[in-house]
Every structure is written in structure tokens, then in C-alpha cells.
Structure 1
Amino acid sequence: MGALRDFKALFTRHGTGVGIFVVVAITLWVFVLIVLPQLAMVDMSFSHNLPPADQGGPRDVYTLSNYGYFVQGNDGSFNSLHVTILVKTVVASVIVTFLDLILCYPIAYVLAHGASKSTARLMMIGLIVPFWVNEVLRAFAFRILFGATGLVNGLGLSLGLWDQPVDFIREDVALYAGLTYAYILLMIFPIYNAVEALDRNQIEAARDMGASWWRVHWRIVIPMAKPGIASGTTMVFMLTTGALAAPQILGGPSNLWFTQLVYQWFNDAGNWPRGSAYAVILVAVSILFTLLMMRVFKVGIGAIGR
């Protein structure tokens, strides 16, 4: 009912032409570019990997073998490699999401209530301008930064923090740093939008009554920021689990991201049904994480989408 009222208000406020354009654009975007491809991928995930001549024939029937392979493999034994890769990807994505939250919450608060308008604009520019550079180039920049002869090792050696270059690539330090930086804006802006609506007088009243800063944030700011935190953590987690360029460039030789498995099934093995099944598994994990964040922060899907 709420959505229907919003559409009626859209037609009333902006006219029939604009209303029809917006409805058609949203329909094309949601159904043609998102829903239909996802449904096609789900349908393909239940298919056999058949040559074109056999597709549509008697052998072209639905099967659960692609999902079964993820759990058991071809020989029927537990497919520990792929399950472990998925678990490691999820755990790493949670860590990156947590790091982004710890870094971005103070920045978002300062932007909303701790800085003057001119300083906030300069901080915004400083945050946005680096993202004009392509994601792949930023990943290579982090690889150079954390390389054996990079700036981080150079400073560590010159300051005597370690005696020989540290392999930050193999230890996945560069990967975590690169992914944390890659999606930092997607955490800052939702929290900023939520915290900006907070009345400054509430914070000043709490301070006048003797509340410490941590108590002000815990009892006043964070409850107001919950929708932004839920939105930011959801977006950062989903994009981190779905990242491909950064794990390929910054990941160590023993760290395989789950999206790389999906890429290998589609492009290297040419097994689109199995690649679709793995992609569906990844989408399901992202949806479960979104539902978990909604439950943890006690917010609805509407609050996350604001």
C-alpha cells in the first residue's frame, strides 16, 4: 500500500509523462536486467552440461548434480576444497566488512556533526576523487604499495620494524587492505545519511547531563545509525564476496576466492550449468547475510534501501 501511494504521489506531483517514464524505467531495470537474468541462471543451474546438438532433446532434463558436485565432487567424497573456499570467502568478507565499519563510522560521524561545512566538503572530495581511478588500477597500486620493494616494506625496513621484506601478498594483507579500501564509500555514505538526520541538540543534552562520549554514541548515535550500518554492511559484504579483480591481483597463491571458481567454471571449463549453480550458491549466501543484518539491527528492508 505504501508503494502504491508513492506511485500515485509521483503521478500527481510530476505528471503522467514523467510517472510513466519512471515506472517503465524501474520495470526494465528490475525485471529485465536483474530478475530475468537471475531466473535464467537458476534454471541453467539445474541443467546438464550438454553439447548444443543435445540441448532440448531427451537428455536435456533437470538435475541436482551441479549442486551435488559442490558438496561431494565427482567421486562422491566430500568436496572439502570448494566448501573451504566458500567458507574462507565468507569469513574474509565479514572481516573486510567489520574493518570498513570500524573505519567508516567515525568518518561518517565527523562528516555529519564534527566538521564545518567547508571542511566536510573537502573531506568528501578527498574521499570521492581517488575512486575516479579504475578498480583494477587501484588493485595494482596496492600490489605495488605492499610489494617486496614497495612503500610499506621500505618504511618498515628503514624504521627497523623488520629485518627483511615481508611478503604481504602471500599473507593476504594486501588483499584485505585493498578490499577494505575498495568499498569504503559504500559504508560511509549510508551511515552518514542516517547520522546526519540526528538532532545535534540530543547529543549536546546528553553531554550536559554528564554522559561520556562512548555512552552518547551507544545510546543516541548508533541507534539512529542502525539503518545506515545495516545498509553499508550489506553492500560491502555482497560486493566483497562477489569481487574478482582484487582477489586475482592481490590474493596470495593459496588464497582462491569463490568468484574465481565461478569464473573458472564459466570461462576455463566451459561448464555454464555448474558455474550457474556456484553463482546461485553465492547469491544465496549474500541473501542470508542480508537477512541476518536485518535481524541483528532490527530494521526492515525498507530502512536498508533508504
Structure 2
Amino acid sequence: MFDAFKNKHGLGVACFIGFAVFFWALFLIALPQIAMLDYSFRFNLPRADIGGPSDVYTLENYAYFFRGNDGGFNALDVGILFKTLVAAVFVTIIDIMICYPIAYILAHSATGVAARLMVIGLIVPFWVNEILRAFAFRILFGATGMINGIGMEIGLWDTPIDFIRADIALYSGLTYAYILLMVFPIFNAVEALDRNQIEAARDMGASWWRVHWRVVLPIAKPGIASGATMVFMLTAGALAAPQILGGPSNLWFTQLIYQWFNESANWQRGSAYAVILLLVCIGFVTMMMRVFKVSIGEIGR
């Protein structure tokens, strides 16, 4: 593969790309993960004791996730992890429902100026920083925000609804935050579909939903799987949006990790929690790939 790339683009470009990929994979992914994994098996010791006889490997940080301080089942932390995963699945499903028709229209219906305006409309809002977008959603869904203002103005409700406490603002913000990561993988997959197949199905009397179920979705499945994987992983690992938009009773698992690292200064336990989140997310995604019969090669296509 390297030889083919070198013949097409030249030795200099091939070497630069190869070095960049190697540097990115080793120094920005592999080594930090290895360091975090090593930290997760260590005790939280004073600086003077690090490297001494008490600095040994242990499973204490992982055991704490399951049994807590009192030795019983740590229902709080396990429950927060489960709730985070359920919320990530919910956000992913909502993104699929929103982005599939957008991607289909963009690939097979919109043309010329309309297509360009749709792409610009999708991309330009993401020029704004993610934290600023989260605060914008907090203002939008606040007690004196636009949603409550319009709802009370037209008589849908009499008093402001606490969208923050109900986590509606959080789910809306997360759904919007990763919408591009769902739209474009589905668009790339659907764009390859021959329009004649759709027309043939319609000529044979297939209904609208049957055309999509039997013709479009099998082609779009790898794109949906790719987008769903990215949205799920990023939603489960989100921190800024839960911090800004989350209600007081809704704690995200990443907030637990943040607390261990920054508030408790226990990097070892924070690393263990981060590894647990990573492994659970990878295991869940792998299981879903088997359920929907999608290979890693199709996702990376």
C-alpha cells in the first residue's frame, strides 16, 4: 500500500504522511493510553513514596468501582455508568433519526444551490466553539429562554418548565453537538446508491418506507454504523456539555472521572475509571456490530 501511495504522490509526500500517522498513533494515542493504564494499577502515594517499596501494582482502583468504601456493591458509580451509556444510546438513536433523512435528501434530492446551502447550513454553526454552543443551549432552554417564552406566549404552559433539571437541554445539546459526525458518513454511503434502483422499486409498487427498508438502508448501513460509533463514543465521553447543561441530579460518568483527577487529586483511581469507560464502550460497540452484522472494515470504508 505504501508503494502504491508513493508511486501516485511521490516519495516525499508518502514519507511525510507515514511519519505523521506514526507520530499521531504512537505519541497521541498509544503512549497516553499505556500511561493511563499503568496509572490505573498503582496506589495513590505521596510524591516521596513513588518508586519506593510501596509503589506496587494493585487492583484496588478497579475493585473500588464495584465495592466502594464500605465493601458493598457500589451502586452509585455503577448506576452512573449505566445511565451514561443509556443516554449515549438515546442520543445516538435521535441523531440517526434526524440525520438519515437529511443525508438522503442531500445525496439524492438536493442539487445545485439547494445542496450547497444545506451543506453550509450544517457546517457554519460548528465554527462556534463547543462550549459556547452549550451555553447557547442553556440560555435557549433556560427559565427565561426562548423555548419557555414562546411556550407561555402561545399558551402551551403557564409557568416555565425546568428543561435543565429534566435533562432535555442536555440531550438536545449532545444531539446537536455530533450531528455532523452522523450526517456525512450516512451521506457518503447513500451517495453511492444508484438512483435507478430506487426508481425500479417504485415502479414495482413498493411503498416509500419499503423502498428505504429494502433498498436504501442496506446501502446506508455501514455509514449509519460508522456515524453511530463516533456519536456513541463521543457522547459517552462528553464532559463540557454535561457540566454546562446537566441537571443537579444527573451526574455523567466523565464527571466522576474529572472529580477523581482534579478535585480528589487521585489520578490512579481516575485512570481506572477512564479505562473502565473505554473498555465498556468498546465492548458495547463490538456487541452492536455483531448484532447488526457490520464489520470494522465496513465502518472504516
Q: TM-score range by the shorter chain?
A: over 0.9
In the TM superposition, structure 1's runs of 4+ consecutive aligned residues that sit over 4 Å from their partners are none
Decide which of 178, 182, 197 is 2:177's aligned counterpart: 182
Code of the residue aligned with 2:135 in structure 1: it is F
1:118-152 alpha-carbon deviations (Å, 9 max, x no partner): 21110000011001001111111111111111111
Q: Which of 242, 246, 250 is matched with 2:241 structurally?
A: 246
1:152 paired to 2:147 = yes
Counterpart for residue 197 of structure 1:
192
**Partner AA of 2:208 in structure 1:** W
Paired residue secondary structure (2:45): coil
Q: Which amino acid aligns with 2:197?
A: Q
| 1:225 lines up with 2:220 in the alignment | yes
Matches of 2:86 and 2:292, distance apart in 1: 20
Q: How far 1:290 moved relative to its partner?
A: 2.2
How big is each residue's C-alpha offset from its partner over 1:240-299, in whole Å with a ceiling of 9 and x where there is no partner? 011111101110000000000000100110000000000001111221122123213322
Q: Give the counterpart letter for 1:235 in structure 2.
A: M
Matching residue of 2:48: 53
* 1:50-129 map, 5 Å: 50-129=45-124
* TM-score in terms of structure 1 length: 0.97
Residues of 2 paired with 1:28 and 1:296: CA distance?
35
Which residue of structure 2 aligns with residue 162 of structure 1? 157
Q: Which deviates the most, 61-70 or 284-293?
A: 284-293
Distance in 1 of aligned mates of 2:215 and 2:238: 35
Name the amino acid aligned to 1:141. A
Task: Tell me the number of residue pairs that the alignment of Structure 1 and Structure 2 aligns.
Answer: 301
In the alignment, is the contact (CA less than 8 A) between 1:47 and 1:273 conserved in 2? yes
Tell me, in whole angstroms, the C-alpha distance in 2 between the residues paired with 1:289 and 1:274: 22
Please name the residue that 1:3 is paired with.
none
SS in 2 for 1:243: coil
* Residue 21 of structure 1, CA deviation: 1.3
Give the Å deviation of 1:55.
0.8
Moved more, 291-300 or 235-244: 291-300
Rounded Cα–Cα distance in structure 2 between residues aligned with 1:166 and 1:21? 55
Give, in angstroms, the shift of residue 108 of structure 1: 0.4
After superposition, the CA RMSD in angstroms is: 0.9
Question: Counterparts of 1:256 and 1:163 in 2: how far apart (Å)?
Answer: 29
**Amino acid aligned to 1:118:** V
Aligned partner of 1:289 in structure 2 is 284
Gaps of 5+ in 2: none
Using the size of structure 2 for normalisation, the TM-score is: 0.98
Provide the rounded CA distance (Å) in 2 between the counterparts of 1:139 and 1:271: 28
Q: Which amino acid aligns with 1:76?
A: G
CA distance in structure 2 between the partners assigned to 1:147 and 1:205 by the alignment: 49
Partner of 2:34: 39
